[in-house]
Structure formats: structure tokens, C-alpha cells
Amino acid sequence: MQDVRDRFYTLHEIVRAGRLNLSTHLWNYVIGATGTETTAKRNRLAIDRIGFRPRVLVDVERVDATVDFFGKRIRIPVTIAPVGGLDQLGRGGGMMVAKGAGLANIPFIVSSVTDQSIEQIGAAATGPKVFQLYVRGDDDFVDDHITRAMAAGYEAFCITVDSAHYSRRERDITNRFTKPWRAANSGMNFQASLAWKEIERVRRLYPDLKLILKGIATAEDAVMACDRGIDVVYVSNHGGRQLDHGAGSMEVLPEVVEAVAGRAKVWMDGGICRGSDVVKAVALGADLVGIGRLYCYGYAAAGAEGIARVIELLEIEIIETLGLLGLTGFAGLNASYLRRVEEVTPPSVLSAFPHLELPRE
């Protein structure tokens, strides 16, 4: 781990190293989105249009960035979000992500689109873990994954609900990149027909299961989720990789938080690249913030230790941001510390890293 710390002092250095270690096709898969890639750009735009209102002359010598996660204390309010095709980005896939999350003491959400089994990844985990499912089969298919995840000690079960149709990711299509993990990924008709009655069935059969719905983007659906006893409403637009011309997740977050009204936890992801992004999300009501592309850069750069280093650097940025806002932790952080501002950088998935082209000695 010390070698990775010595190599990477900043997040942009990790992004650059990840790019150098990936083929052109895989790099474009990681940074790409659907259609015009407008939703992905709006993720960053929504974040960049939020500025801070700092308070001063507060004793912030000690800042504690830890938070609660289903009764466990985690390092920062960040989780590794599910990403498909991890095995193409580096050796080990989901098991390597489990190791990286364990090193960093944060939770991870493993995608059902991975080469390793629920049990293998669960056994490799040393910290909190969540299993995420794309519904590609009937009720027995869903029940099998739930019972196996529960038996393997996963803290919660996540169902992705924003993928009724697989999007046209024109960056990959234009490059004629056929994703190897898509070949065996049949059953999209089940994903397309997924409806609230299936969520109700799962809730009824597994009352003790911590159930998460990922892909909520409106207050209306947040209310419907809470009415059905969902434990976590996960605000996400799939990193801009599903519906084109959607709103940025950070823009959607306040209306979902208001609609949930404390009846469930609220998680979010979408364009999160820096510690200040995490602080903004928590100030707007998020209990946990997911990172996707960001940890993929770390994974491609240096495997599990690269992921852990991403989290270390995020922690440094989070503590710095909290301290400069006049806070000693997340308690007391709210929207009063934010203001509306104009963005200064054209948004893109890489716009949070303005130093990528700086030469290295």
C-alpha cells in the first residue's frame, strides 16, 4: 500500500494511470455514456453549480468523517457502486473490489454482471457488502439470488430499476466494441417487464431483507418505494449510461429527499469525483454516496490498492472541505452551507480533473 501512496499523491494521477493501463475500447467503455452523453454531462453540471457558504472561527482541529452504515462505522459516507464488466479492467473482478473496499473500510455493492459468484465475492470481503441484481429471470431467479446473498452475509440486497431497455451507447457502437460480458447476459425481457408487483412480492417474502431500489429519479417513484417498505431509495441515472437527456443526480436529490421524508435512507451516485462532491451530496440529504467511474480508474491503475488509495484521497479532500466549512464532522451539515453558483468548466466525466495533461518529471 505504501508503494501506491508514493506513486499517487492526487486523484488526477490515478485517473491518468488508469487510462494508460486500459485499451482504447475499455477506456471509452468506462468514460462513455448513452446517446449524446448529455445525462453524464449534467451529472457534473449539477455538482458544479453548487458552491459553498463556509463558516469561520470554529475549532476544527479535529474532523471526524466517519458515518454509520447499517449499524457499522465506516470511514467516509461513500460506497463502491456496482459496475459490470469489472474483470475486463483488471485481474480479480468483484473479488478485487471486495479487497479494495475492505482495505479502505467502506462498503461495496457488487454487480450481478461479474465473473465471480455471490459466494466467492462474499468470502473475499472483509467489510460491509451489498449485492446488486439485474432481474434477468423469473421469480425463482430473483429468489435464488436473494437467498444466496443472505446466506453469504451480505448486509443488503439492491435491485436496479432503471434498465428496462439496454441503452444505445454510441461511443462503443461507433468503436465496434462488443462487450464480452454482454454475450451471456440474456433475459432482458424480464428486466423490461419488471414492475412494482415484483418489488411488493420480494418485500412480502423477505420482510427482514434490507432492500434497496437503485435508479430512482423522481419524487413520485420515491414515494411509491417508501409506501412499499423499501429501506433505501437510491438516486441514480446509471452514470448517464441509460436514459439520455436525464437530469443530473445532484439536481434530483433534493426532491427525492423531501419525498422520502425520513421513511427510508437515501443514497445517490452520478458524477461524484471529489471529496467536495461527497460533502455537497450529504448536505442535500444523502446518507451515502456512490462512486463508479472513479474507483474504476483506481482499479485499472493499481488493483485493490488503487481502489483503497482513491478512498484515502477522497477522505483527505472530505476532511479538508468539512474543516474549511467550519464543521468537525457531518453532524450539522445541511443545505445552509451551500449556495447556487455558475459553473466555470464545461462539464464532462473528466472535468473534475483539470491537471490530467500536466507533464510528469
pLDDT in tens, 224-251: 999 999 999 999 999 989 999 999 999 9
- Nearest Cα residue to 85 out of 300, 248, 243: 300
Q: Which range has the worst mean pLDDT, 90-104, 262-276, 295-309?
A: 90-104
- Spans of all domains in the chain: 2-55+65-325
Does the pLDDT of residue 335 top 70, yes or no?
yes
CA 122 from centroid of its chain's CA atoms: 19
Q: Which tops the pLDDT comparison, 85 or 196?
A: 196
Asked whether the CA dihedral 72, 285, 45, 343 is positive or negative, the reply is negative
Residues classed as catalytic: 238
By the 8 A CB rule, do 157 and 210 touch? Answer: yes
Angle at 67 between CA 66 and CA 68, to 5 degrees: 140
- Whole-number pLDDT of residue 360: 63
Average pLDDT of the segment spanning 87-110: 91
Number of Cβ atoms within 10 Å of the Cβ of 328: 17
Nine cell digits for residue 76: 467516509
Q: How many CB atoms lie within 10 A of CB 137?
A: 17
pLDDT of 60 strictly over 80: yes
- For residue 175, pLDDT beyond 60: yes
Q: Helix, strand, or coil here: 276?
A: helix
Report the CATH number of the 2-55+65-325 domain. Answer: 3.20.20.70
CA–CA dist 44, 351 (Å, integer): 8
Q: Which residues contact 231 (CB under 8 A, 6 or more apart)?
A: 156, 210, 211, 212, 264, 265
C-beta separation of 38 from 270 below 8 A: no
pLDDT beyond 90 at 192: no
Q: Which one-letter amino acid corresponds to residue 181? A: W
Q: Where are the alpha helices (DSSP H) in 194-326?
A: 196-205, 219-227, 249-260, 275-283, 293-325
Report the first-to-last Cα separation within the chain, whole angstroms: 23
- Can you give the pLDDT at residue 245? 96
pLDDT of residue 184: 55
Residue 333 has pLDDT above 60, yes or no: yes
Higher pLDDT, 205 or 114: 205
pLDDT of residue 19: 95
- What pLDDT, on a 0 to 100 scale, did the predictor assign at position 254? 98
Task: Say how far apart CA 264 and CA 259 lie, in whole Å.
Answer: 10
Mean of all residue pLDDT scores within the chain: 93
Percentage of the chain beyond pLDDT 70 is 97
pLDDT in tens, 116-135: 899 999 999 999 999 999 99
Residue 179's pLDDT band, with cuts at 50, 70 and 90, is low
Provide the pLDDT confidence category of residue 186 given band limits of 50, 70 and 90: low
- The pLDDT, as a whole number, for residue 149 is 97
The CA dihedral of 154, 158, 163, 164, to the nearest 10 degrees, is: 110
In the chain, the percentage of residues whose pLDDT exceeds 90 is 84
Distance CA 152, CA 158 (A): 15
Task: Collapse the DSSP code of 203 into the 3-class scheme (helix H, G, I; strand E, B; otherwise coil) and give the result.
Answer: helix
